[in-house]
Amino acid sequence: MTKTLCRLLGALFLPALAACTQPDNSPQAAARLPGAPLDTMTDPATGQPVIRGPVLTGTAPRTPGKSSTASSIGEPASQSAEALNTATRGERAQAASAPTGGERRLGTTVASLGDPSQPGFWVRTPLVKSETAGRIVNPANGKSAKVRLIPLGGPAGGGSQVSLPALQLIGVSLTDLPTVEVFAG
């Protein structure tokens, strides 16, 4: 009797178990799957409805033979920092000359490379409210550069953007984030 009862329960249990493993083809289940079509979706930028379709994941296909690396963003890979530095020897000598006096120390700032395509000796910094002549000093080696101080929004403790020729003149690697002293006058 017990053996027969176990066989009967097993015969009833297996179909019930098989029914539990059947795929759920409901729309709610399809929406939970990655890449499944969405019922409704709007573009957050425009508020317009988006065409119903699969949710795409991964990366976009690339053009054969082209690649995008950190060295090729914004400039051809063949251009070096020296090629972008358009300052003449005379301009470099003038920028490196000793200060004439009457300077006022504005503070220190973390310097990063500004737009390398912009020529000249300049610093965009939140330490000034109007454009003025100034100087930056690298305290690590004492080298300085006369620059044009250009206002940059943000808190006074925020970082500054320095031109390529100015960074090279004060002996800073273009990938470093040194603290430099800023003077006006």
Q: Give the separation between CA 175 and CA 185, rounded to whole angstroms.
A: 28
Residue 174 has pLDDT above 80, yes or no: yes
Residue 93 pLDDT class (50, 70, 90 cuts): confident
What is the token pair recorded at 93? 């000598």
Which DSSP helix (H) or strand (E) runs through 84?
helix 81-84
Using pLDDT thresholds of 50, 70 and 90, give the confidence band for residue 29: low
For a pLDDT cut of 90, what percent of the chain falls above it? 36
| DSSP tag of 16 | H
Beta bridge partners of 131: none
Q: The domain 86-184: what is its CATH number? A: 2.40.40.10
What pLDDT, on the 0 to 100 scale, is given for residue 156?
78
157 residue type, one letter: G
pLDDT level of residue 54 (50, 70, 90 thresholds): low
**Which one is predicted more confidently, 56 or 135?**
135
Mean residue pLDDT of the chain comes to 75
